[in-house]
Structure 1
Amino acid sequence: MLEKLSIRNIVLIDKLDLSFERGLCVLTGETGAGKSILLDSLALALGVRADAGLVRAGTDQGSVTAEFSLIPSHPVFSSLGDIDVEPGEPLILRRMLGSDGRSRASINDQAVSAGLLRNVGETLVEIHGQNAERGLLDARGHRALLDQYARLEKEVIVVGRHYETLQKANEKLERAVREIEQARVDEEYLRHIVEELSELAPEEGEEEALAVHRSNLMHAEKIAEALRDAEKALTEHGGVENRIRSATRAVERVIEKASGKLDPVLESLERAAIEMAEAQGVINSVAGDLDMDPVGLEVVEERLFALRAAARKHKCEVSALPKLLESFVARLKAVEEGDREIESLRAAAAEARKKYVAAASALSQKRKAAALDMDRAVMAELEPLKLGAATFTTDVSELPDENWGSHGFDKVAFLISTNPGSAAGPLIKIASGGELSRFMLALKVVLAQAGSAPTLIFDEVDRGVGGATADAVGDRLRRLAEDLQVLVVTHSPQVAAAGEAHWNIRKSEVNNATVTSVDRLDQEERTEEIARMLSGASITEEARAAALSLIEG
């Protein structure tokens, strides 16, 4: 439960320290005294979005600290992660808010994110105010409220996972259908390209080899002429070979007289003769190997130009043509085998739908069972609230396929009938102002009892009711407070009289500044405050007597 609340520099509050207790805690005060400031301050400590406008004018920073006492088994202790908090020890939530809008959050003086603070706060306090009432009236939120009542969070998560799988399967199927349809539109073109490139049959590295061969063919005539000139130079006018032989004979005639000095000369001439013979042989061999066929050059150029034309057509390099052919063949194969792939994807989507429908149906059955139980619980609350002739029904119906979602396929709506025999309809259309407040209280009580928060706050839940009905509201809140800590902000003297502890919120001038203060009332002060609520500004003895009667009653 909420034990302490400390507020510094928040709107009209300069410094405020409050201690709360179990049971029904009542907060009263004149309109504009600052009751909403108190609730906004607590909400800040619980992790709601920070607003720089909450910081008191003339100050740089405001802060709110809320201290809670919890049983060791409370689920909040298992959600604190790395925070060093022992189960059962006090939990202190603190929020610091600067005038620039920046905020810092901590739990037991350990820095945490605003998101973690909010998650923790939601397990500690439930605030049922005017915003919550509007949520109860909005049918779009009724399904979530029923799931909360029935504690179906795990089942909803399972359905959500199956829905995500179904969505992905459907998207994959739709994408494949679009692709195959587009591919079929292009099928004739694909076949033409595959036939064209298959006939061309490009090979890797072919362009380079053809370019070299073409260059050789184009220069073959000049090479042959050069070889002829070389051979002519070696053979005309008797040839170099004959000259070498003549030189050799000349040396041989005198070699015996040279005492071996001419031996190297003779050896050199012999080597020269051999080299010349080899040179002539190589010239003849190369000349014989030359491809002088102009038709061959034409064939090579035609092949090379065909490859380059295909590359230009497909806007790629010649070297990329083999891979391009492979890709077109694969696309054509996909078209030809597309029906099998589509059938496979369609079967996967059908299986995903089957699992989703099974999980959603199981969730729907649990919702319908919970709806009956919730209806009985709400109906039990209506009699004490002077609505015994009214009926409350939680309608669970199936949505059309296009509206299915991660939450399942149920539409949930809270319907009421205020008179026997009249048709049930939405809350906001059927109930009058006073009836609506009581229906809201009945719903809030039932939903609150299904929650895990040990502290409930009701903001003006008695709005629009009075007399015996207000008595009934106060009595119901007091009975609810037997199991939970309940804080109620009220303008009703009957509700205020039902409280076990009473605080008065008032606004005053201090040092030329307006401040809000909160005072714990003793028995005499409490009687005086309820008398004020009964009679207005001028408190009469009759009002005091009536106040005392309400308290004792």
Structure 2
Amino acid sequence: MLAQLTITNFAIVKFLELDLQSGMTCITGETGAGKSIAIDALGLCLGERAEASMVRPGCDKTEISARFLLSGNPAARGWLTSNELAGDEPDECIVRRVVSAEGRSRSYINGVPVPLAQLKSLGQWLVNVHGQHAHQLLLRPDYQLSLLDAYAGHTLLLDEVRQHYQLWRQLQNELARLRAEQQQREARRQLLEYQVQELDEFALQPGEFEAIEEEHQRLANGTELLQECGSCIDLLYENDDTTIAGLLQTAVNKAESLVGMDNRLTPVLDMLNEALIRVEESHSELRGYLDRLELDPELFNELEARLSRAISLARKHHVKPAELATHHQSLAEELARIGSDEARLENMQVELDAARSAFMTSADALSQSRQRHAEALCGKVSESMRELAMPQGHFVIEVAPDRSQNLSPLGIDRIEFMVTTNPGQPLQPLGKVVSGGELSRISLALVVITAQRMATPTLIFDEVDVGISGPTAAVVGRLLRQLGESTQVLVVTHLPQVAGNGHQHMVVSKHTDGQTTETHMQPLAQQDRLQELARLLGGDHITDNTLANARELLAQ
């Protein structure tokens, strides 16, 4: 439940801190005092749209925070845990919203910055607001369906139907795509079959082009390699006149003599010996290479032909020759996917029929649940209508399954709220029969009845009693008080019969000094509450009679 609401610089509120209790809390005040301002601030705190005009004139920001107690609210606790936003106190949650004078806003849950979507998602488990125009929603089939589902509480059935529907629609979309692409896919398949067959016949392997290119380069320069290797061998070791090895050996001999005269030249001798060893090794390597070097004209021609074919195919496929093998593999994989899509297309109708059948089975079960709960809800609403000054009122919910047309994530049902308020009058759709006052009373009855079965721990009724007066107002007050016995209820009202039923009472007042305006809200003690009820009954002129009527309301 909502335990505390703190508002700073919001509209005409400079600072307001409310400590709230369980049960039914009534909020009253003079017209224009801003009775709904705390409700508006709470809505902003829980994710409603922010505007710069919400910031009190002359201030740089507005800040609203709400503290909720979560004992008895496993849904909210589970949401916080799954989103890793649980605070240090597991039975408490603090939500905060800051809006700048430029209209930018920041949101926090238990001190952690969060996107606005998360704030809204959490809010649905904390507070449910019913505004003064909520009864107009009652004429909409989707709202009628949501009320019936809220009363029935068959969340698991709804989730099951939604999942089956989404799978069925996903398969429908996939089938439509495969069919639409079938002609294009066939043309692509024919091209790919030709291309892949051509590349299969050539069968270039990964890395093969580079190896062919390297071998071709070697064979193309074979004669020059023979000549230059022979010349290098002669220079190193095998020339009849002068060789590098011979010159180095002479230098080694001289260095040995020098070391005998001065051993500080030993490093020079070592380097010359090392150079001589390197020359001998180089000669040996070159001699071995020359002995193994073979010039094979036939192999050269084969390599040249394969190299030319690879370059030609690469140009044809608009890739580099070194990428041809990878491109071949890519085309083969695409061809396999097209074959897989065709096989998928052949088998999809069976899968689609199975998905539709599963959806229909779940939707039928949901429809039966709706029909059972609709019957129970109709009896309760009809009884409430009679209590709310419609003695001949009769309320019926028509649940009409339509297995051919009305398929949706919510099932197969078309819902119609039917009502009659006068003897002999047939049942007709709600919007064609009732007046505005009757509609608001029926809406209120439905909200109170369904709210008793909902998990939201805090319910807010913002002037939902507009158009109600006299004995009917007293019944509304008793209904709301009864709801407050099990749920925290906040009621913004102008009716003394409703306000008198509250467990707590708060009054809103507006003050101005001619320059600025401030709204205040404060809880009322018993004597102050008596005065406020008397004001609601008789206006500003309070008499002994209005005080007596106020006492009677409180006594009831």
Please, what TM-score do these two structures have when normalized by structure 1? Answer: 0.71
| Cα distance between partner residues in 2 of 1:196 and 1:516 | 84
SS in 2 for 1:71: coil
Contact 2:135 2:444 in 1 (8 A): no
C-alpha distance after superposition, 1:350-397 (max 9, x if no partner): 222222222222222222222222223322322221224222222322
SS in 1 for 2:464: coil
What is the aligned partner in structure 1 of residue 242 from structure 2? none
| Cα distance between partner residues in 2 of 1:73 and 1:193 | 65
C-alpha distance after superposition, 1:218-256 (max 9, x if no partner): xxxxxxxxxxxxxxxxxxxxxxxxxxxxxxxxxxxxxxx
| Cα distance between partner residues in 1 of 2:16 and 2:317 | 79
C-alpha distance after superposition, 1:292-312 (max 9, x if no partner): xxxxx9xxxx99999999988
Aligned-residue Cα RMSD (Å) equals 4.4
| Cα distance between partner residues in 2 of 1:334 and 1:8 | 62
Structure 1, unaligned runs of 5 or more? 217-288, 292-296
Contact 1:474 1:498 in 2 (8 A): yes
SS in 1 for 2:372: helix
Between 304-313 and 351-360, the greater mean CA deviation after superposition = 304-313
Contact 2:132 2:466 in 1 (8 A): no
SS in 2 for 1:527: helix
Q: Does 1:86 align with 2:90?
A: yes
What is the aligned partner in structure 1 of residue 432 from structure 2? 429
C-alpha distance after superposition, 1:489-520 (max 9, x if no partner): 11112222222322221212147311111233
Between 471-480 and 324-333, the greater mean CA deviation after superposition = 324-333
What is the aligned partner in structure 2 of residue 24 from structure 1? 24
SS in 2 for 1:412: strand
What is the aligned partner in structure 2 of residue 240 from structure 1? none
2:148 aligns with one of 135, 146, 149: 146
2:137 aligns with one of 123, 129, 135: 135
Q: Does 1:408 align with 2:382?
A: no
Q: Does 1:159 align with 2:161?
A: yes
What is the aligned partner in structure 2 of residue 262 from structure 1? none
Between 176-185 and 54-63, the greater mean CA deviation after superposition = 176-185
| Cα distance between partner residues in 1 of 2:355 and 2:472 | 53
Q: Larger C-alpha radius of gyration, 1 or 2?
A: 1
| Cα distance between partner residues in 2 of 1:91 and 1:338 | 51
Contact 1:384 1:476 in 2 (8 A): no
What is the aligned partner in structure 2 of residue 392 from structure 1? 395
Go from structure 1 to structure 2 and tell me whether the alpha carbon gap of 1:17 and 1:353 turns closer, same or farther (over 3 Å shift). same
Q: Does 1:418 align with 2:428?
A: no
- How far apart are 1:141 and its partner, in Å? 2.7
SS in 1 for 2:36: helix
Go from structure 1 to structure 2 and tell me whether the alpha carbon gap of 1:34 and 1:331 turns closer, same or farther (over 3 Å shift). closer
What is the aligned partner in structure 1 of residue 453 from structure 2? 450
What is the aligned partner in structure 1 of residue 555 from structure 2? 552
Between 332-341 and 515-524, the greater mean CA deviation after superposition = 332-341
Contact 2:45 2:97 in 1 (8 A): yes
Contact 1:454 1:484 in 2 (8 A): yes
2:482 aligns with one of 479, 484, 488: 479
What is the aligned partner in structure 2 of residue 360 from structure 1? 363
Between 345-354 and 415-424, the greater mean CA deviation after superposition = 415-424
SS in 2 for 1:548: helix
Q: What is the number of equivalent residue pairs in this alignment?
A: 481
| Cα distance between partner residues in 2 of 1:525 and 1:546 | 15
SS in 1 for 2:370: helix
| Cα distance between partner residues in 1 of 2:439 and 2:548 | 31
Go from structure 1 to structure 2 and tell me whether the alpha carbon gap of 1:318 and 1:137 turns closer, same or farther (over 3 Å shift). same
Letter in 2 for 1:5: L
Contact 1:77 1:85 in 2 (8 A): no
Contact 2:70 2:77 in 1 (8 A): no
| Cα distance between partner residues in 1 of 2:372 and 2:308 | 79
Contact 1:180 1:335 in 2 (8 A): no
What is the aligned partner in structure 2 of residue 492 from structure 1? 495
What is the aligned partner in structure 2 of residue 7 from structure 1? 7
What is the aligned partner in structure 2 of residue 111 from structure 1? 112
What is the aligned partner in structure 1 of residue 471 from structure 2? 468
Go from structure 1 to structure 2 and tell me whether the alpha carbon gap of 1:382 and 1:311 turns closer, same or farther (over 3 Å shift). same
Go from structure 1 to structure 2 and tell me whether the alpha carbon gap of 1:202 and 1:340 turns closer, same or farther (over 3 Å shift). closer
What is the aligned partner in structure 1 of residue 35 from structure 2? 35
Contact 2:506 2:524 in 1 (8 A): yes
What is the aligned partner in structure 1 of residue 230 from structure 2? none
Q: After superposition, where does 1:238-277 map in structure 2 within 5 Å? A: none
What is the aligned partner in structure 1 of residue 124 from structure 2? 122
SS in 2 for 1:15: strand
C-alpha distance after superposition, 1:279-321 (max 9, x if no partner): xxxxxxxxxx999xxxxx9xxxx99999999988877789999
C-alpha distance after superposition, 1:427-451 (max 9, x if no partner): 3332201101110110110121111
Q: Does 1:67 align with 2:67?
A: yes
What is the aligned partner in structure 1 of residue 171 from structure 2? 169
Letter in 1 for 2:23: G
- How far apart are 1:339 and its partner, in Å? 7.3
| Cα distance between partner residues in 1 of 2:28 and 2:438 | 23
| Cα distance between partner residues in 2 of 1:335 and 1:310 | 23
SS in 2 for 1:355: helix
- How far apart are 1:190 and its partner, in Å? 8.8
Between 404-413 and 348-357, the greater mean CA deviation after superposition = 404-413
Letter in 2 for 1:94: R
Letter in 2 for 1:66: A
The percent of aligned pairs where both chains have the same amino acid is 36
Go from structure 1 to structure 2 and tell me whether the alpha carbon gap of 1:181 and 1:504 turns closer, same or farther (over 3 Å shift). same
| Cα distance between partner residues in 2 of 1:475 and 1:384 | 11
Contact 2:135 2:439 in 1 (8 A): no
- How far apart are 1:464 and its partner, in Å? 0.6
Go from structure 1 to structure 2 and tell me whether the alpha carbon gap of 1:499 and 1:308 turns closer, same or farther (over 3 Å shift). closer
- How far apart are 1:401 and its partner, in Å? 4.6
Go from structure 1 to structure 2 and tell me whether the alpha carbon gap of 1:312 and 1:29 turns closer, same or farther (over 3 Å shift). same
Go from structure 1 to structure 2 and tell me whether the alpha carbon gap of 1:52 and 1:329 turns closer, same or farther (over 3 Å shift). closer
Q: After superposition, where does 1:311-350 map in structure 2 within 5 Å? A: 341-350=344-353
| Cα distance between partner residues in 1 of 2:45 and 2:482 | 28
Q: Does 1:379 align with 2:394?
A: no
Go from structure 1 to structure 2 and tell me whether the alpha carbon gap of 1:535 and 1:155 turns closer, same or farther (over 3 Å shift). same
Go from structure 1 to structure 2 and tell me whether the alpha carbon gap of 1:193 and 1:149 turns closer, same or farther (over 3 Å shift). same
| Cα distance between partner residues in 1 of 2:341 and 2:46 | 57
Contact 1:47 1:121 in 2 (8 A): yes
- How far apart are 1:540 and its partner, in Å? 3.8
Letter in 1 for 2:102: D
Letter in 1 for 2:56: R
| Cα distance between partner residues in 2 of 1:203 and 1:42 | 71
Please, what TM-score do these two structures have when normalized by structure 2? Answer: 0.71
- How far apart are 1:458 and its partner, in Å? 0.9
